Amino acid sequence: MSEANIQLVPTTPFDDQRAGTSGLRKPVRVFQQPHYLENFVQAIFNTRPELKDGLLILGGDGRFHNDVAIGIILRMAAASGVARVIVGQHGFLSTPAVSHLIRKHHAQGGIILSASHNPGGPNGDFGIKFNTANGGPAPEAVTEAFFNETRKIRAFLIHAGDVPEIGRTGEFMLGDMRVDIVDPVSDYADLMQHLFDFDAMRKLLASGFQIRFDAMHAITGPYARHIFTDLLGAPAEWIMNSTPLPDFGGGHPDPNLKHAASLVALTQGENGVDFAAASDGDGDRNMILGKRCFVTPSDSLAVIAAHAAMIPGYRNGIHGVARSMPTSQAADRVAERLGIAHYETPTGWKFFGNLLDHQRITFCGEESFGTGSDHVREKDGLWAVLFWLNILAGSRQSVSDILAAHWREYGRNYYTRHDYEGIDSGIATQLVETLRGQLDGLRGQRFGDHTIAWADDFSYTDPIDASVSAHQGIRIGFEDGSRIVYRLSGTGTQGATLRVYLESFEPDPARQQLDTQHVMQALVDIADRLADIRSRTGRDAPDIIT
Ligand code: VG1
Ligand code: CO
């Protein structure tokens, strides 16, 4: 009898297991404390009764502690009566691949082990996310239920049996629970082939068109090798850093201009490659580059929406488009032209779930290098890269030509984000609170050419379930349509990160090729004056500019 192998282990609650923007994310050493992971996982099983006798998808981005956590979760799932777990070989599954497997197999949920773009290794971060049966990140009501449960948890259940070796694929039993260890890539690659024109992309890559993909030693390496090399015929060396490493090779797996600087360098100069892209730790983010050209994620969403009719999976028409609030309004302009709805949601992919499930939208995106569609319920890095490659294959234009044409047609939303990292939490909170207290008096204030037209603290009411999410960021709008947004990060693990998002609209094609930081300088200065950023934080400049 396997029952005899189930142990009830007494535990005491931790008080810090509330999820942030995307799951529970902490330094590895926090997760290594006895029972820290177990308490959180038991809270999931206690509050998601459908997992009993159900199917769970399990995998992670391969970072340090991934394998240990997978073993614990498998034993706990067996003890809690889960019927079957599908786990990626070596414990690997990208975030979008988990979302796809949940949907494909009608699973009751999925657990993703990742701290996404945060560094890994023994001194880095670890994280755990739960996705619901629609394939999407757990909404706030669900993560709050986890949190409440973790505050009163007194025991957890764990099976004493041996965990199958996860390095090989196959079917195993752990007590009464079946464990299927699967190739993490193949189902996902099938889905991509269903959406995109692989013949056209193969021809493009055979024509001398040079691309590079940087997997940053994170999860997308095996996916990119299979898709670009095996299926699209790219030389193996075009896929850089394609072996997932527990510490991401010491790097910071965040695809942006700073952390993927060596990739950006390959696009510069006369001999720069035609197209380059990178993804993050768990494979849901993307950065798109052309020869001497960086596509902001906000523009990327707009270009994708505008080119949907070229892409096999979206040819039959699209529903609306959604963007997170700090993302530029470029996609709204495309939606208006196409006569489809557009939505503005708080930061975090979970807010797109209802809109996708109810066919209000087809595409959605965030300024933070996240783009996706209704093919899964997560943002999807490789999907965005393939979407661009398919556009390039179909149009035979360069990335910069596509962008310039887009701006000519719709106008350009100049956009930049300035991050101040690791600042004192108290100072950061005070900065935002002071701003919040001033909102009512801001209207009509003038700063040179800029006059404030409105200011608020963003609150979102979900159009499907009417749930309200308040305090999602301070927005300041100017008469010329420019915007400044301030919010604090919900994914960091050290101190606070202040994000300042700046946007201004330029309809005149003669002024659409200027340097972004130059164009935005006046607004950057206003943002500093309004919030006293420099004097409050003691910083002269942001840590990261994207
Ligand atoms: C950041 C981004 C947000 C994104 C989140 C998770 O959150 O700004 O847009 O959804 O990370 O992305 P924050 O709260 O730090 O601004 V990932 O790739 O970590 O799953
Ligand atoms: Co991520």
SS3 393: helix
CA 433 / ligand 2 centre spacing (Å)? 29
3-184 CATH:
3.40.120.10
Residue 90's pLDDT is what? 97
Cα 281–Cα 288–Cα 229 angle in degrees, nearest 5: 70
The answer, yes or no, to whether any atom of ligand 1 lies below 6 A from the CB of 242, is: no
CA 224 / ligand 2 centre spacing (Å)? 16
Tokens standing for residue 490: 């919900």
- Measured by CA distance, the residue closest to atom 8 of ligand 1 is 368
- All structural domains of the chain with their residue ranges: 3-184, 188-410, 412-545
Higher pLDDT, 275 or 257: 275
CA 446 / ligand 2 centre spacing (Å)? 39
Residue 2's pLDDT is what? 52
Given pLDDT bands bounded at 50, 70 and 90, which one contains residue 473? very high
* Mean of pLDDT values over 194-210: 97
* Mean of pLDDT values over 347-365: 96
The answer, yes or no, to whether any atom of ligand 1 lies below 6 A from the CB of 372, is: no
In whole angstroms, give the CA distance from residue 483 to residue 512: 18
Asked if 3-184 and 188-410 have one fold, the answer is: yes
Residue 1's pLDDT is what? 41
The answer, yes or no, to whether any atom of ligand 1 lies below 6 A from the CB of 366, is: yes
The yes or no reply on domain 412-545 and CATH 3.40.640.10 is no
Options 3.40.120.10, 2.60.40.10, 3.40.390.10, 1.20.120.530; CATH for 188-410 is 3.40.120.10
pTM, two decimal places:
0.94
Please say if the pLDDT value at position 494 is more than 90.
no
Given pLDDT bands bounded at 50, 70 and 90, which one contains residue 529? very high
Q: Spell out the SS3 assignment of 8-71.
A: EEECCCCCCCCCECCEEEEEHHHHCCCCHHHHHHHHHHHHCHHHCCCEEEEEECCCCCHHHHHH
Sign of the Cα pseudo-torsion (300, 305, 309, 313, in order): positive
- Measured by CA distance, the residue closest to atom 13 of ligand 1 is 489
